[in-house]
Amino acid sequence: MDDLDLSADLTPPLRRRLRAARRVVAFTGAGVSQESGLATFRGGREALWQRARPEELATPEAFVRQPRQVWQWYADRHRTAAAAAPNPAHHALVRFAGLFPSFLLVTQNVDGLHQRAGSRDVLELHGTLRAARCHACGRRMEMHEALRRSPDEPPACACGGLFRPAVVWFGEALPAAVLERAMAAAARADLLLAVGTSASVFPAAGLIELAHRGGAAVIEVNPRPTAFSALADLRITAPAGVGLPALEEEVRRCRRAPS
């Protein structure tokens, strides 16, 4: 896709809001990492849940029932994520952070690519593939260390439990402190960027509506419409790796322009 020109899409009122914005939240989903070669969960033949049933691999009950199979599936996902490289969308978000006094990145992704690109203040709503934790006592270790110890089945903890990936499975609550901080930031935001998310998984997707109700400008970057597209002040119908760099350039121009 050629470089995207958004100069005609940002209306004067939206430019003024972008110029004045101080508190910004970026809310990202699997579409951000798709251009790094990582499959999304929904939305196509290669989507992860088109190839595997969530109840067979991504629930606490599945881990108790077949820990070896679940461990191996997540071990493969970890290796795939570790071999992937951040793409222009990840790098654009790093630059975004430098444009505003307050910038918080809230992600549904578990691959760690935001941090590897250089993003610092990242809330991982759905946990991380980069760590393992004991299913019994909660003790944590780096996933690469857990896989070094036991690549084919979950390693045992000193307490007698088994280590599992430190992700949030279906049927589990999001980490309370992380969700509370994300919700508080969205409610106070002047601008919310919704990027590469289907906005179909709750309570995470509720951050978009929360920001909108609080008066934030909402900009959505997604090739396809979502359930919250009607709330967006601007929809950028493009992949994240194209839409975000173009948006960052326009926002930078807005911020430099005289008031």
pLDDT digits (tens, 9 = 90+) for 94-134: 999 999 999 999 999 999 999 999 999 999 999 999 999 99
Task: Provide the token pair at 82.
Answer: 């570790």
**What pLDDT does 122 receive?**
97
d(CA 184, CA 232): 20
What pLDDT is attached to residue 256? 85
* Position 52 pLDDT exceeds 90: no
Task: Judge whether 162 and 135 are in contact, CB under 8 Å.
Answer: yes
Q: Which residues pair with 26 in a beta bridge?
A: 105, 193
Torsion angle (degrees, nearest 10) of CA 248, 251, 257, 259? -160
In this predicted structure, the answer to whether residue 225 has a pLDDT above a threshold of 80 is yes
Percentage of the chain lying above the pLDDT 70 cut: 92
Region 187-211 average pLDDT: 90
Catalytic site residue from 78, 90, 126, 212: 126
Cα distance between residue 73 and residue 149, in whole Å = 17
Find the range with the poorest average confidence among 21-30, 48-57, 125-134, 188-197.
Answer: 48-57
Question: Which has the minimum average pLDDT: 40-49, 130-139, 195-204, 224-233?
Answer: 40-49
Q: What pLDDT does residue 54 have?
A: 60
Rounded CA-CA distance 163/137 in Å is 10
Mean pLDDT of 51-71: 84
Q: Which of 40-54, 128-142, 190-204, 244-258 has the lowest mean pLDDT?
A: 40-54
For residue 144, what pLDDT is reported? Answer: 96
Which superfamily does CATH assign the domain made up of 39-83+127-167 to? Answer: SIR2/SIRT2 'Small Domain' (3.30.1600.10)
CA-nearest of 89, 91, 100 to 35 is 89
pLDDT band at 47 (very low <50, low <70, confident <90, very high): very low
* Coil, strand or helix at 211: helix
Residues 156, 162: contact at Cβ < 8 Å? yes
Q: Could you give the C-alpha distances from 206 to 104, 142, 197, 212, in angstroms and in order?
A: 16, 30, 12, 10
Quick one: pLDDT at residue 44? 46
What is the torsion angle, in degrees rounded to the nearest 10, for the CA atoms of residue 64, residue 66, residue 67 and residue 72?
Answer: -150
Question: Nearest to residue 93, comparing CAs of 84, 82, 104, 108?
Answer: 104
Residue 78 annotated to the active site: no
When pLDDT is cut at 50, 70 and 90, the band that residue 53 belongs to is: low
| Cα–Cα–Cα angle for 28, 33, 35, rounded to 5 degrees | 130
Backbone angles phi, psi at 4, to 5 degrees: -95, 130
> Could you give the CA distance from residue 102 to residue 221 in angstroms, rounded to a whole number?
21
pLDDT of 249 above 80 = yes
27 touches 193 (CB < 8 A) = yes
Residue pLDDT, tens place only, 137-194: 999 999 999 999 999 999 999 999 999 999 999 899 999 999 999 999 999 999 999 9
Please provide the CATH number assigned to the domain covering 1-37+86-126+174-259. 3.40.50.1220
- Strand locations in the chain (E): 23-28, 102-107, 122-124, 127-134, 140-142, 163-167, 191-195, 217-221, 234-236
- pTM of the full structure: 0.92
Spans of all domains in the chain: 1-37+86-126+174-259, 39-83+127-167
- Percentage of the chain surpassing pLDDT 90? 82
| pLDDT of 40 over the 70 cut | no
Q: What is the mean pLDDT of the chain?
A: 91
Looking at the predicted structure, is the pLDDT value of residue 66 above 50? yes
End-to-end CA distance of the chain: 33
Cβ distance 216 to 192 under 8 Å? yes
**pLDDT for the residue numbered 198:** 84
